[in-house]
């Protein structure tokens, strides 16, 4: 990808959970929960408007275990299961995102965060959209982060007292 092309990567699980917890419990006429879908669709539209990009993708976590589970068996051991009304919206959300023309990236055995980090580091001009602070762990000069705070390599190193690794 040449330097003038911009890549917009969306951490879909982050947006999905945020929308679910931020919006009232919307339901379809037949009773299915739809609030998280509505929230994600609105966020994707806003991102596309605010960050025009040559390439776009939503990145999702795979089903099942990831390499992190193999490294540390207690990884996510205390995390609660996805709430059922949210789980019911996963497949319809995937269908909706696809219908909106957003590519969906999922890599078996690799979490969305790791996929996003890999793609962003390979791109010359990447914008990362999420609602987590995990992006601090990705260090390179001046990433574009559509959040309330920007984490550059220098700022992250100062805040966390770390040096970037190559």
State pTM to two decimals.
0.76
Q: Nearest 5°: phi and psi at 104?
A: -115, 125
Beta carbons of 10 and 130 less than 8 angstroms apart: yes
pLDDT in tens, 28-62: 999 999 999 999 999 999 999 988 899 999 999 99
Count of residues making up the chain: 166
Token pair, residue 110, equals: 């690799």
Q: Which residue would you say has higher pLDDT here, 137 or 71?
A: 71
User: What is the tens place of the pLDDT at every residue in 124-147?
Assistant: 788 888 865 444 434 444 545 554
Instruction: Let me know if domain 7-134 sits in CATH 1.10.3720.10.
Output: no
More confident residue, 73 or 90: 90
Calculate what percentage of the chain has a pLDDT beyond 90: 49
Q: Where are the domains of the chain?
A: 7-134
Cα 78-83-84 angle, rounded to 5 deg: 135
For residues 141 and 105, give the distance between their C-alpha atoms in angstroms, rounded to a whole number. 25
Q: CA-to-CA distance for 34 and 28, rounded, in angstroms?
A: 6
Strands ordered across the beta sheet of 7-11:
104-105, 55-59, 7-11, 126-129
Q: Coil, strand or helix: which one is 44?
A: helix
């Amino acid at each position: 990808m040449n330097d003038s092309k911009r890549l917009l990567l969306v951490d879909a699980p982050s947006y999905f959970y945020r929308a679910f917890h931020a919006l009232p419990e919307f339901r379809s006429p037949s009773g299915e929960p739809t609030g998280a879908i509505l929230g994600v669709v609105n966020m994707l539209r806003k991102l596309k408007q605010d960050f025009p990009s040559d390439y776009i993708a939503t990145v999702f976590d795979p089903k099942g275990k990831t390499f992190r589970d193999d490294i540390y068996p207690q990884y996510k051991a205390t995390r609660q299961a996805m709430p059922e009304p949210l789980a019911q919206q996963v497949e319809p959300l995937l269908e909706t995102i696809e219908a909106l023309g957003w590519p969906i990236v999922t890599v078996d055995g690799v979490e969305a965060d790791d996929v996003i980090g890999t793609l962003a580091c390979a791109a010359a001009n990447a914008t990362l959209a999420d609602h987590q602070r995990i992006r601090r762990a990705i260090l390179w000069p001046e990433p574009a982060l559509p959040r309330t705070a920007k984490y550059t390599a220098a700022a992250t190193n100062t805040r966390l007292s770390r040096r970037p690794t190559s």
